Amino acid sequence: MQVGPISRRRFLSTSAKAGAALAMGGAVTTFLEACSATPNASSAAASASGTVAVEIDEGQNANPFQWFNPNMKAKFGATTNIIGLPFVGQYEKIVAEMVTRSSVYDVLVFPPQMLGDFVSNGFLAPLSELGNESDFNLTDVLPAYRDPNLRRNGKLYAAMYDGDILQIAYRTDIFSAAGISQPPQTWDDFLNIAKELHKPPTQYGNAFLAQRGFCYAWFMNIFAALGGKWFTADMKPAINTDQGVQALQMLVNLKQYAPPNILQIGYQELNEAYLNGSTAMVVQWDDLALKAEDPSQSKVVGKNAYAPCPVRNYMPYSRVMAVSAFSKNQQNAYKVIQYMDSADVSIKYVYDPKCGEDPFRQSHLDASKVKDHLGNPSMPAAQAQSYVGAIKTCLTTGYPELSIPGAPRYLDILDLFVNEALAGSLTPSQALTQAANEWDSITASLGQDNQVKAYSDWVNAFHAAGVTY
Amino acid sequence: MMATRRRPSRWSGGRRFALLTVAPATIILIVLSVFPLLYSLRLSFTDQQLLSLVPPRFVGLANYAQLLQDNLFWSSLGVAAAFALSVVTVQLGVGLALALALYRLPRYQQFIATLLLIPSILSSSVASFQWRSLFDYSSGPLNYFLGLLHLPLLSWTADPRLALPSLLLVDFWQWTPFVTLLLLAGLHALPASVFEAARVDGSSSWQILRYQTLPLLRRVIAITVILRLIGAFKVFDIIYVLTAGGPGSATESLAFYNYVQGFRYFSVGYSAAMSYVSVIIVIVLARVILRYMERPVGRPAADVPVAEAAV
């Protein structure tokens, strides 16, 4: 192309403008960098007064952070500002915030099922790079909760806050009156006992969480006992097997001996069904025991015993604490996590009926330590013995919750189809086949090879922790 | 000498002012509506997952093809269609009856109309939380009254056969008053002389309703139907609060399933394709209703009943 004198002038003029624009752009960039540096500087300065934003599912689980705020303030000058998210929907809200690299959260409290996604997408700052792993006294953390829940790619990303496991709570008075001397040892036993003790509308044989959101965990609890696995080594779904169909059929059968609104029963409703005295036995997270022995919450104080679930005990949810990779207050966030995770602080909240946290350290497993954060015994000695004993046994037969990348999605799909079977819209076999098909699509969308490796690493972590899987 | 008239510049005077006035709205529209629309259209041709380590690829119409084979998509479309059809039919029928009744009560009309506004000014989520308490199996007033009448208690939102009707009840409670008010306003806008003439000609109340009121009210009815159809088709809040799509997928509407794909699974490409399908369905339905609305009000003489023709 020929460039005439006028075009040249225009060219020069345009170049000059472009140059000026670039220079301005550079200036703007520098200015923006300076601006973005300002909050860093100010947050560093603020860290002396230090408010650490803690994301957690709202409600009782946030209480320990509030209780220990004055102690943290006195110890290292930081307090926490709780950002409560709804329990159902927590995952999407965290992700929506973190994909924009938002610094709104300093500490994230979430279940380990999300750890795979959060680490692979760079949402978390490794604790091992912010301080020393020895700060967390990891040898005291129960093996099933330790590396599989806290570590990825050799780095420590999280610290425990709540160790969850399912266990049976049952009414000793009702069992005795019916001449039943021991809790169920197999799932067939469980069904028979539920049938025998089912006397509606005053007494229901059993209850479980059947509402959409977490009913998959109650299926997995039975599936685990029958020897089921999540996937094969090459990531083919292993839920649509005979064990899977049998487990789901068992859950559907148990529905007959449950309260009539069983499909409406979520976590709170399940607690209530037991605490109001209308249900003979339930499978629930272990913190139910604390509430069952608390006269302000329960009509059945002193009438309960606690036992492991038949054969295996599923470990749904749990909670870990991690530092956001985008936090501008990472050092204080680290200190908050270290403080809340420490043995002498966590022992004050894991047995407190006013929150939902459960033991996760070896040092927690002592019946004499079942006290609330004010130091008062939170249940009678006999019940405390039964409760802590059940947790110890449960942990030896604990069955891990999936926590590879995409885990929340796999679990949500499983939950949907388990719920379809419970609602009677699909047979157990149809439900699990459809769930398996959806699982295949998830695996394909996340990359088959990536998932095979992540699953293998995860299974190995459990094997290394001594968990049978 | 012939005066040279200066040609008005494109940017002169009133034109410049007009453009400057329109510009902010245009820019906002482009940034907030046109750009997201085009961006989501582009997304719908990719397999983008927000949390995948696999880079997004252009997949053409694959997302749209996948929708055709997705059982959950079809079941959610079925739920949305059933919900929208029931909402429009019931709310229009009851709303019209109430509007006609109110029209004949000029004395109390303003007071009742004000009361009727209350449900529709509440946010749907707030209303849903109130209804959740009402539906509660053990402590809800609905089951309390059933108990008083010695009737079996109902699992309003947990029984697969009752869950969708329960949601319809909430939507009915919230939006029927709004439909009533729209139709009442329409009735007030009709020319009184037509009805007076009909009465003078000896038409019965039913004939006036059938051959005068409804045809004249047709445009208001069409607008009401479109508004409620769009509202019902994208229903989300009450499902999120009351059933979360359950039991199973009994109440998982298209909007809710789209939310699950987009914001729970972060399959943004697939979710964008689903959004476009939803938009196309609503546009086609609205277009059909608008065409009906544009038809002339009169009917061929042959259709007119003998009594009327005689008049």
How far does the CA of residue B248 sit from the closest CA of chain A (Å)? Answer: 4
Q: Which residues of A touch B51 (CB under 8 A)?
A: 95, 99, 117, 120-121, 405-406
A200 to chain B nearest CA, in Å? 13
Predicted confidence (pLDDT) per residue in B183-204, tens digit: 999 999 999 898 889 889 898 9
For the CA atoms of B189, B192, B194, B200, the dihedral, rounded to the nearest 10 degrees, stands at 160
Which chain B residues are Cβ-neighbours of A421 within 8 angstroms? 248
Q: What average pLDDT does this structure show over B289-297? A: 78
- Predicted local confidence at residue A68, as pLDDT: 97
Report the gap between the CA of A405 and the closest CA in chain B (Å).
9
* Domain A166-315+396-464 in the same topology as domain A51-164+317-380: yes
Pairs of CB atoms within 8 A across A/B: 91
- Indicate yes or no: CB of A425 within 8 angstroms of CB of B250: yes
Ramachandran category for residue A101: left, alpha or beta (phi over 0 → left; psi -120 to 50 → alpha): left
Contact A98, A291 (CB under 8 A): no
Q: Which of A88, A117, A120, A419 to mutate to test the interface with B (most CBs of B within 10 A)?
A: A419
Please list every residue in chain A whose beta carbon sits closer than 8 Å to the beta carbon of residue B157. 264
Which of B51, B53, B158 lies closest to A264 in CB terms? B158
Mean pLDDT of B247-258: 95
Residue type, A237: P
B162 φ, ψ (degrees, to nearest 5): -105, -20
Residues of B in contact with A91 (CB under 8 A): 264
Q: Which of B54, B137, B155 sits opposite A446 (nearest CB)?
A: B54
* Residue B235 included in any domain: yes
A232: left (phi over 0), alpha (psi -120 to 50) or beta: beta
Per the CB < 8 A criterion, the answer to whether B203 and B304 are in contact is no
Q: Token digits for B62? A: 């694959």
- pLDDT tens track of chain A, all 469 residues? 333 344 444 433 444 443 433 333 333 333 333 333 333 333 433 444 489 999 999 999 999 999 999 999 999 999 999 999 988 889 999 999 999 999 999 999 999 999 999 999 999 999 999 999 999 999 999 998 998 899 999 999 999 999 999 999 999 999 999 999 999 999 999 999 999 999 999 999 999 999 998 999 999 999 999 999 999 999 999 999 999 999 999 999 999 999 999 998 999 999 999 999 999 999 999 999 999 999 999 999 999 999 999 999 999 999 999 999 999 999 999 999 999 999 999 999 999 999 999 999 999 999 999 999 999 999 999 999 999 999 999 988 899 999 999 999 999 999 999 999 999 999 999 999 999 999 999 999 889 999 999 999 999 988 988 888 8
Under an 8 Å CB criterion, which residues of B touch A?
47, 49-54, 71, 137-138, 153, 155, 157-160, 243-250, 260, 263-267
- Other CB atoms within a 10 A radius of the CB of residue B65 amount to 12
- The 10s digit of each residue's pLDDT in B121-136 is 999 999 999 999 999 9
Span A432-443, pLDDT tens digits: 999 999 999 999
**Does B100 fall in a domain?**
yes
Domain that holds residue B263: 62-123+163-296
Q: Which residue has the tokens 């959409």?
A: A212
pLDDT confidence of residue A13: 43
A261 contacts in chain B (CB < 8 Å) = 137-138, 155, 158
Candidates A98, A212, A214, partner chain B, best to mutate (most B CBs within 10 A): A212
Give residue B11's pLDDT.
64
A-chain residues near B47 (CB < 8 A)? 445
Q: Which residues of A touch B65 (CB under 8 A)?
A: none
pLDDT, position B50: 87
Residue B2 above 90 pLDDT? Answer: no
Distance (Å) from the C-alpha of residue A139 to the closest C-alpha of chain B? 33
Helix intervals (H) in A197-348: 215-225, 242-254, 267-275, 288-292, 330-341, 343-346
Dihedral of the alpha carbons of A41, A47, A48, A50, in degrees to the nearest 10:
140
Q: What percent of chain B has pLDDT over 70?
A: 91
Which residues from B are below 8 Å from A422, CB to CB? 247-248
Per-residue pLDDT, B51? 84
Show the tokens assigned to A173: 């008075």
CA-to-CA distance for A455 and A457, rounded, in angstroms?
Answer: 5
First to last CA, chain A: 72
* Within a domain: B92: yes
Q: Which residues of B touch A447 (CB under 8 A)?
A: 52-54
Question: In this prediction, what percent of chain B has a pLDDT beyond 90?
Answer: 72
Residue A264, min C-alpha distance to chain B (Å): 5
**Residue in A338, A318, A356, A316 with CA at minimum distance from that of residue A58:** A356
Q: Any alpha helices (H) in A47-138, and if so which ranges?
A: 63-67, 69-76, 90-98, 115-120, 127-130
Whether A261 and B158 lie within 8 Å, measured CB to CB: yes
Spelled out in words, what is the top-level CATH class assigned to the domain A51-164+317-380? Answer: alpha beta
CATH at B241: 1.10.3720.10
Nearest to A150 by CA among A180, A117, A122, A127: A127
* Domain count of the fold of chain B: 1
pLDDT digits (tens, 9 = 90+) for B35-91: 999 999 999 999 998 887 778 999 999 999 999 999 999 999 999 999 999 999 999
pLDDT at B311 over 50: no
Output the pLDDT for position B192.
87
- What is the structure's pLDDT at B291? 87
Is the CB of A450 less than 8 angstroms away from the CB of B266? Answer: no
Q: Are the C-beta atoms of residues A392 and A384 closer than 8 Å to each other?
A: no
Q: Which of A91, A212, A425 sits opposite B244 (nearest CB)?
A: A212
Per CATH, which fold does A166-315+396-464 belong to? D-Maltodextrin-Binding Protein; domain 2 (3.40.190)
Distance (Å, rounded) from C-alpha A277 to C-alpha A282? 11
Contact A422 B52 (CB under 8 A): no
